[in-house]
Amino acid sequence: MTSSTTLRTHTCGELSARHIGETVTLAGWVSRRREHGDKLAFVDLRDFSGVMQCVIDDGADARSEWVVRITGVVSARPAGTTNPNLPTGEVELTNCSLEVLNSAEPPPFPIDQRADEVDENIRLKFRYLDVRRERMQRNLRLRAGVNSAIRTAMENQGFVEVETPLLMPSTPEGAREFLVPSRKEPGSFYALPQSPQLWKQLLMVAGMDRYYQIARCLRDEDLRADRQYEFTQLDAEMSFVTKDDVLAAISNAVLAAAHAATGITPPPIERITWHEAMNRFGSDKPDLRFGLELVELTSIFSGTAFKAFASSPSIKGLRVDCGTYPEQAAMGRNKLDQLTERAKQLGAKGLVWMKVGEGGALESPVAKFLSDEEKTTLVTALGASSGDLLLLVADEWSTTCGVLGQLRNDLARPPVHEGPYRYVWVVDFPLFVGINPTTKKPQPGHHPFCHPHPDDESKLETDPLNVRALAYDLVLNGWELGSGSIRIHEPDLQRRVFQLLGIDDETADRKFGFFLQPFKYGAPPHGGFAFGIDRLVAILAGEDNIREVIAFPKTQSGLDPMTNAPGPVEATQLNELGLRTLPKPAG
């Protein structure tokens, strides 16, 4: 990369001992000024690449965040004054002349790492200043490198980048949409895309074979650390493929992105089924960085006299190892009561805790209700030893898994960006996830276009809740990066799934006609995937909130303090669109 322009010969961060003796010109912002005696001052000049110390005449006016141009000679710093913590710490600029390009008001917060302690709303209100900081510069440039690596990886695999519409029909079966009123058709609306799902499948019908896009998507959902109204994803679709082909292509892109960000290529991404993920980790977004795996215990208590266990279809437990988690294993009665209350809040009827003493003796309020054989077998099944804490939940299988999985995370999960990067493919999700209480029909697990597992198609009408989908998620350190599936390309099979969901032919044509009609003209077998670039970059950058890797994000309440969006619009604009606003509800 060339850094030379009309106003500078180099950038601040690129100078080193090899440039000693050269006369150079730098341009940037005054990061800091320090007086030195009566005639000299040190100015730390900053640009995107780093900081360079410049020795200037004490009379030269240069204040914090002024934009200046400095010409001088690269010199070795005097003995004892080098700064090993600075990439340019061996050299400084001497014999300097300074030109002020623009003065500046004092900034509302320091443009250095101390700004991390500033209220986030202030940082976002002055985001253009926040982005000057080393942390934000690093994050956004890392993000650019990730995008570049993804594009290269996809193009090397024969994918073609295609842009899809931002104004599209509403498809309310997904998350809540952002709607755009039509001026030409008053009372009608476009929707902003939650994803390019429909378009990319139509591109497969159109014979594009391999499509990808680094796509901007929008969802009107509550915001949190890993979610924004606007987000960016790698979107991809492939024709004439199986699940394994899609997973291989996306794995290549993800591993290339990881290498671009960290310089290290992770090992091949491991794979587990959804059922295994729930059984072992109590979550379809399993964090593999730590232990505390769930253990199946139902058979141990098949003949128990303990009533709370006797009637339970599923009993699972986990061992809190006193060697690995000494503080958690040694928690007292008050904290155990809090943990029990937490389990109830998560949906369990209760939580059974047991502390393991010498010789495998169990200390617990319920120990007296268990037989000696049950106690011995329980300790063996959990691999427990003296000092360990055992936690058990008895309930429906899904509740048992979910509650213990959340307690597992509460007790031991590290911040998402800490520790090793543990990628995992979770495959074979359920096609349906329970019965809709209103319609009494099955509810789709992902969306109604996921292809059923071929081995389970015969159970669609007779046992739909036990039908697996050719659907898969990619998870990193407990964050879901994205999801995908092999799609239904056969009209008859699509009709069967719609009928199970209570969608008749007329409703299907009305809601999805523009999408289904092309499938009558020869749709190839196809599948795809999309993963969140914001989430991936946040983890690779060592951040636990995606706002730190987005140039201009919204706050957690969905506001933009810098522009004051969202805000009212002129009455004339509403009139043009045939809209009126209702008064705010009282209170």
Give the pTM.
0.91
Q: pLDDT tens digits, residue range 75-128?
A: 999 999 999 989 999 999 999 999 999 999 999 999 987 778 899 999 999 999
**Measured between alpha carbons, how far is 524 from 539 in angstroms, rounded to an integer?**
36
SS3 for 59? Answer: coil
Count other C-beta atoms under 10 Å from residue 307's C-beta: 9
**Measured between alpha carbons, how far is 459 from 476 in angstroms, rounded to an integer?**
33
**Beta-bridge partners for 352:** 392
Q: What is the pLDDT of residue 184?
A: 92
**Measured between alpha carbons, how far is 472 from 7 in angstroms, rounded to an integer?**
52
* pLDDT of 586 higher than 90: no
CB 32 within 8 A of CB 94: no
Count other C-beta atoms under 10 Å from residue 86's C-beta: 15
Average pLDDT over residues 12-32: 96
CB 420 within 8 A of CB 284: no
Q: What is the pLDDT of residue 554?
A: 95
Q: What is the pLDDT of residue 100?
A: 96
Angstrom CA distances, 112 to 32, 136, 261, stand at: 10, 10, 22
**Measured between alpha carbons, how far is 587 from 579 in angstroms, rounded to an integer?**
24
CB 62 within 8 A of CB 32: no
Q: pLDDT tens digits, residue range 472-482?
A: 999 999 999 99
User: φ, ψ for residue 352 (rounded to 5)?
Assistant: -100, 125
Q: What is the pLDDT of residue 98?
A: 95
SS3 for 219? Answer: coil
* pLDDT of 497 higher than 80: yes
Q: What is the pLDDT of residue 174?
A: 65
% of the chain exceeding 90 in pLDDT: 83
Confidence of residue 509 (pLDDT cuts 50, 70, 90): confident
Average pLDDT over residues 426-444: 91
Average pLDDT over residues 381-406: 96
**Who contacts 414 (Cβ-Cβ below 8 Å, separation ≥6)?**
289, 290
What tokens were used for 63? 């204040």
Say which amino acid occupies 398.
S
Candidates 278, 279, 281; CA nearest to 407 is: 281
Q: pLDDT tens digits, residue range 135-153?
A: 999 999 999 999 999 999 9
* pLDDT of 2 higher than 70: no
Angstrom CA distances, 284 to 55, 220, 455, 470, stand at: 58, 23, 22, 15
Domains of the chain: 12-102 (2.40.50.140), 113-271+527-579 (3.30.930.10), 290-413 (3.30.1360.30)
Confidence of residue 39 (pLDDT cuts 50, 70, 90): confident
Average pLDDT over residues 353-357: 96
Confidence of residue 302 (pLDDT cuts 50, 70, 90): very high
% of the chain exceeding 70 in pLDDT: 99
Q: What is the pLDDT of residue 172?
A: 60
Q: What is the pLDDT of residue 512?
A: 80
